[in-house]
Amino acid sequence: MMTIVIISSIRTKTKILVKRMEEIHPKHIFRENQEEYVDRHGIKVVVGHYVGNDLRKVPNATYEMINTNYFNPNPKAGKDGSPVITLPKDMIRSQQLYNINKFNVLVSDQIPLNRTLPDMRRKKCTHLFRECKDCPKTSIIIVFHNEAWSTLLRTVWSVINRSPMENLEEIILVDDASQREYLKKPLDDYVKTLPVSTKILRTNKRVGLIQARLRGAAIATGEVLTFLDAHCECTRGWLEPLLTVIRDDRTAVVCPIIDIINDQTFAYIKSFELHWGAFNWNLQFRWYTPGGSQLVKRQIDPTLPFNTPAMAGGLFSIDRKYFYEMGSYDEGMTIWGGENLEMSFRIWMCGGKVQIAPCSRVGHIFRKASPYTFPGGIKKTLYANLARVALVWMDEWTDFYFRFNEAPNAIKHEQNISSRLQLKKELKCKSFEWYLENVWPEHFFPTRNRFFGHIRNVAVDWCLVKPDTKGISNQPVGLATLEPCIKRNVTLEMFVMTKEGFVMTDDSICLDAPETKSGPVAKVRIMACNGAERQRWSYNNSTKELRHVTNQKCLDVSDSSKSSEGLIIEDCNGEESQKWILEPVPWN
C-alpha cells in the first residue's frame, strides 16, 4: 500500500507531505503526536513530527510535497542561467524525485527564485525597446496543476523583476485543483507579500488548462492578457516587444521566442531563432524551418515580428477584448492539448494574425513526459480536443485527419461542436484551404492540385518509405529506401508531390539529392524540406522517370536498394529500375 506521510517540522511548524512507495519506520522520523488514517483514495496517511533537520535525508523516501521549508536555495546556483550539476551523493535522490514533476526538482530547489539570466536579445532589440510608449497594461495569467513551488514562484518572480511596472496590471494564478498542501494556504500567504497585485483562483475540480485559463481571463482587468506556463523564466525586455505588437495591431496574437530550460540542469539555453510553429498530419505541434522567401525576409531584419502558422500555446499575449470577440477558447476542450492549434486556425482564418516577436525571449522547461494524470484518459481529453479542431476548422482536410488517426476518429461523433461552427459563421472565417495556401504555403498536406499517394518502383515492386531514424529537431531523416508496399501503416509510405516538384511527406521532409553532376554514386536522402533546387524533381507520365531537376539524372534503385543502401540518382537509361508509378490514394 502506498503511504503518504505528513510531517510537521518542529522547527518551522509547517506541514510537509512525504509520499513514499514503501513503509518507512515511523520511529526514524517521528517523535510524538503520530496519527494514522486511510484517506478517501485508500491511501494510508501518517501524520507526525519530523525530527531530522534535513528532509532530504529521510531514508529512501520519494516525496511529493516540498514546501518553502525544504526550498533551500544557494545564492550562486544557476546564476546567469548556468547549469546546476547534481552531485553524485544526490544522484539517487534526484532520480527518485524526477518523476513527481518530470524535471529535476532537487536542482530547481537550489536555484534562487530571482536568479539572474543572461540578456538573450540581439543588440538592436535593446535599442528598439528601451521603453514601451503608449503600450497597454497586461494581466499575466498562469495556470497550474501540482506545480513545484520553486518553478512556479521563479516564473512569478521573473515576471515581477523583468517587466516594466507601468505595463503590469496584475498577476493571476489559477490553481487547477492541485492536491499539494503547499499550493494552498502557504501559497496564499506567500503571494500577499509580493510587490505586485497577485490573485489566486482555484477550480474546485480539475478542469484542465483551457478552462482554467478562461477563468483567469474572466477576472482579468488588464487591456492585454498574457499567458504563461507555470515553469517559465522571462528574460530582460521580454514584455515590451509583445505589447508593442498589440499596441500597433490589436488583431495580432503574439508569442515570444521560447528558449529552453533544461529539465535536468535548469541551464537556460538559447533556442533556434529561425523556426516557426506548425503541425504534422497527426496535428502534433512542431517547429519547422520556414521556406526561402520567409527566411530571406527574416535575415534582413531579425528583430521584426514574423508570422507563424501556429503557436506552441503556452506563452502569448492577446488584446483582452479581441480574445472574447474571437471566441476565446473552445469550452468543449478539457485538460490538455489542441487548444493552441484551435486558436491559431481561428485567429488566422477569421481575420487576425499569429506572430512571434523575436526580441522577446522567455525560457520554458521542456519535459519529455507529462507529470500528471489525464482524467478520463487520453481519448476523452487530448484526442477529443484534436477531433474538435479537425471537425470545426479543417474543412476538406477533416477526413484526411480522421483517416490517418484512428483514436480521434473513434470518438468524433461524441463531439458537439455546433456553437463553434456558429462562431465560425458569425466571424465569416475563411477556409482551411485559404489558410494552407496563404499562411503556410510550404505545407506538406495533400491538395487538389498535387499528387498524394504511393511511389512504387516498377523493377522491384516496392514503395518509397519515410526513414525511421530521427534528426536533431526530431524530424525523420535518412537514406531514401524502399519497402514492400503495405497499406497498413499507411502514412509511412504516403508522399505528396507538388507542382514545383517537391516530393515531400509528413513532418516536412523531402526527397533530396546532391547537385553535383559527376562523381561516384549519388545517394538520395530524405531530409528537412528547405525549398532548395536540390529537392526538386520532375515526373514524366509516359517514361515514368523521376528526374532530379538540377542535374537531369534519374531516381534509380541501387543494386542493394532493398537494404539500407538506399536509392541513387543515375544517368537516365530507360530501364525498369528507373520507372516509378505514382499511385494516388484518396485523401478526403
Q: Does 229 bind Mn ion (CB under 5 A)?
A: yes
Q: Among residue numbers 35 through 94, which ones bind ligand LR7 (CB under 6 A)?
A: none
Say how many residues touch ligand LR7, by CB under 6 A. Answer: 23
**38 contacts 44 by C-beta, under 8 angstroms:** yes
- Residue in the block written with cell 532548395: 532
Q: Does 383 bind ligand LR7 (CB under 6 A)?
A: no
Angstrom distance (rounded) from CA 240 to CA 467: 43
Q: Which residue, 473 or 558, is less far from ligand LR7 as judged by CB? A: 473
Say how many residues touch Mn ion, by CB under 5 A. Answer: 1
**455 contacts 464 by C-beta, under 8 angstroms:** yes
Q: Which residue, 266 or 336, is less far from ligand LR7 as judged by CB? A: 336
Among 339, 442, 506, 512, binds ligand LR7 (CB under 6 A): 339
Residue 36 φ then ψ, to 5°: -130, 140
Residue 33 has what DSSP assignment? -
- Apex 336 CA angle, 331 and 337, nearest 5: 90
Among 78, 305, 313, 476, binds ligand LR7 (CB under 6 A): 313
Which cell numbers in the block locate residue 231? Answer: 515553469
Q: Which residue, 209 or 350, is less far from ligand LR7 as judged by CB? A: 209
Q: CB of 212: closest distance to ligand LR7 in angstroms?
A: 5
Of the candidate spans 228-236, 249-257, 301-309, 479-487, the one that interacts with Mn ion by CB under 5 A turns out to be 228-236
Interface pattern 346-365 for ligand LR7 (x via CB under 6 A):
------------------x-
Angstrom distance (rounded) from CA 569 to CA 580: 13
Q: CB of 265: closest distance to ligand LR7 in angstroms?
A: 18
For Mn ion, which residue has the nearest CB? Answer: 229
370's contact among Mn ion, ligand LR7, none, with CB below 5 to 8 A by partner kind, is: ligand LR7
Of the candidate spans 8-16, 53-61, 142-150, 234-242, the one that interacts with ligand LR7 by CB under 6 A turns out to be 142-150
Of the candidate spans 104-112, 207-215, 301-309, 402-410, the one that interacts with ligand LR7 by CB under 6 A turns out to be 207-215
**391 contacts 296 by C-beta, under 8 angstroms:** no
- Residue in the block written with cell 509528413: 506
Q: Which residues of 289-299 are buried (b: 16+ CB within 10 A; e: fewer)?
A: bbbeebeeebe
Q: Which residue, 47 or 378, is less far from ligand LR7 as judged by CB? A: 378
313's contact among ligand LR7, Mn ion, none, with CB below 5 to 8 A by partner kind, is: ligand LR7
Q: CB of 285: closest distance to ligand LR7 in angstroms?
A: 6
Q: Does 529 bind ligand LR7 (CB under 6 A)?
A: no
Interface pattern 102-141 for ligand LR7 (x via CB under 6 A):
----------------------------------------
Angstrom distance (rounded) from CA 534 to CA 513: 6
**153 contacts 125 by C-beta, under 8 angstroms:** no
DSSP 507-562: TTEEEE----SSSS-EE-EEEE----GGGBEEE-TTT--EEETTT--EEEE-TTTT
Q: CB of 523: closest distance to Mn ion in angstroms?
A: 39
Of the candidate spans 42-50, 111-119, 184-192, 307-315, the one that interacts with ligand LR7 by CB under 6 A turns out to be 307-315
Interface pattern 451-480 for ligand LR7 (x via CB under 6 A):
------------------------------
Query: 339-349 vs 432-439: helix axis angle to the nearest 10?
Result: 90
Angstrom distance (rounded) from CA 32 to CA 565: 71
Q: How many CB atoms lie within 10 A of CB 505?
A: 25
CA dihedral 75, 78, 84, 89 (to 10 degrees): 20
Q: Which residue, 229 or 556, is less far from ligand LR7 as judged by CB? A: 229
Q: What is the longest distance spanned by two Cα atoms in the chain?
A: 90
Pairing of strands 525-528, 546-548: unpaired
Q: CB of 349: closest distance to ligand LR7 in angstroms?
A: 19
Angstrom distance (rounded) from CA 203 to CA 205: 5
Interface pattern 230-259 for ligand LR7 (x via CB under 6 A):
x---------------------------x-
Among 336, 451, 502, 587, binds ligand LR7 (CB under 6 A): 336
456's contact among ligand LR7, Mn ion, none, with CB below 5 to 8 A by partner kind, is: none
Q: Which residue, 203 or 550, is less far from ligand LR7 as judged by CB? A: 203
Which cell numbers in the block locate residue 142? Answer: 498562469
Q: Among residue numbers 144 through 183, which ones bind ligand LR7 (CB under 6 A)?
A: 144-145, 147, 176
Among 335, 455, 509, 513, binds ligand LR7 (CB under 6 A): 335
Q: Which residue, 152 or 439, is less far from ligand LR7 as judged by CB? A: 152
DSSP 475-512: -B-EE-EEEE--SSSGGGG-EEE-TT-BEEETTTEEEE
What own/partner pairs with CB < 8 Å and gap ≥ 24 does 374-379 have?
374/335, 374/336, 375/206, 375/335, 376/334, 376/335, 378/407, 379/407, 379/410, 379/411
Among 209, 225, 326, 513, binds ligand LR7 (CB under 6 A): 209
Of the candidate spans 180-188, 203-211, 349-357, 526-534, the one that interacts with ligand LR7 by CB under 6 A turns out to be 203-211
Of the candidate spans 215-223, 302-310, 331-339, 478-486, the one that interacts with ligand LR7 by CB under 6 A turns out to be 331-339
Q: CB of 231: closest distance to Mn ion in angstroms?
A: 6
Q: CB of 371: closest distance to ligand LR7 in angstroms?
A: 7
**358 contacts 302 by C-beta, under 8 angstroms:** yes
190 three-class SS: helix
Burial of residue 42 (CB within 10 Å: 0-12, 13-18, 19+) is: exposed
What are the residues binding Mn ion (CB under 5 A)? 229
What are the residues binding ligand LR7 (CB under 6 A)? 143-145, 147, 176, 206, 208-209, 212, 229-230, 258, 312-315, 335-337, 339-340, 364, 370
